[in-house]
Structure 1
């Protein structure tokens, strides 16, 4: 009687052990196509299916992020939705060099339009919010082997419905295909060199910035050599100084470079520069004549460094370079009779 019971007990223990082992293996080897929060590992980047609110951030945020890091997240929403990105107020990466984020940075790319919305680093100000044009957007974070900072970055994402009544944006030709007049007008409204380069080459503007400011064959341009401020003393006669404000004196004038240099084949940025030109009246003219004119008595040429854009032959895009342009400046003015001037 005891022997059959022992066999029965051994059989039950064997069945229980097999079941326990099977349960343990199934839990350990469960297929995990997706991680938590809809994140799927695609080797090159993390694909995040956006169905609500969430966030992506630098490792160890809000503490110092690690060196030698390259991460990318692709946010994917349904076709009728847009993705809104908002930066956390705590933001700090390695500082830029010469105004360009070369080493540690976070970058946002709109995959619908295949354009870089921005690249940020440093800690001076928090980047503004961005909304995708379509249903996909990519966030990229890079850190090199030097000088990691804190707190890094954190970007919160959320969904916005795409309005059916939203007017379609008219198609705009890329800058390389725009005419000189159209391109010149577009660039004249931009405030910084960075904005100009972003407009011209949104996908590689930072590389263009680096190329633009690389040392050239000359150490100092003519603008550094010739554009020296003239020394002048203050006039102690206050009454005389007030009169001179309205008399024939050098004044600040804004001139169009294309008109001033008669270059209709090129585009300059800035499109206008400030020069000294004679202006004012000759009410106190010492000449006894009917028509007294304010004319330059001493003229100097000064060089100004500007950005020059020209179309390459054969429609091969735009040539971008820094160049010196000479402009006349009136150092002294005088009142003379018109007949003598002619």
Structure 2
């Protein structure tokens, strides 16, 4: 009689222990995923079907957003509609470094094309209209210096038959652009001009000479960073045959880059619009025969400053602000062929 009772008691204790272990695993090893205004993994997306008006915003807007956040929204409308985005005037993220949004930013992509990246307190575009029926918004914050109020974007629908507003060249010269499309058109017009004088005369026909005087008027910084950071020549002791091969192998060589794309600045126009930089290029024929995927990679990268003409919307005023500014660009000073497996 006692032995059956003991077997029943042992069975009950084992069952209770299994329940406790199961509850423990559920609580600590299988946490529930809480979605907060988007997704936490930048490789995923929150898909929003746009059927009317709505908004997306940084967490806790208009208060300080959290650190270490990556939120992605993909807005999808029906095929006969476009999506219009309107930024709230309250906008503030962590400041850029050297004019580049590296840390906290919001960016918009349309049909695999990056329309812009914004951070700090720089003016975000008033409105954007998608080319098709989809558009993506991505927000990233790192582990330092969260700011406020963050950002808020309202979205709405437009018929696909509605054409995007255009601005003739004469009108663009007379008034500051108010949308990304107008900025793009003005940038293309300025890019075709050959001298600084032509740029200023195009923008302000009546006062371009005065603008020239003000542009080159001495200021407190007199010499920009582009004059301070001098290039240092490097010599190489190579024989003629090796030198001829080196010219076609993995070496730093001249590439032209678009400043607006390189700096991700869609809120400004640069002249010249493109500059030459040293970037690694060439083949890796002399790489080890044991390597199946040899790549030309930079071993030494330096930042150099280039003085250019900057044209930017003057907040609350008519016309464009014109100034000489230094822009930082990365130059590759040393390159090498590296086996991809070793590099990874």
TM-score normalized by the length of structure 1: 0.48
Structure number with greater Rg is: 1
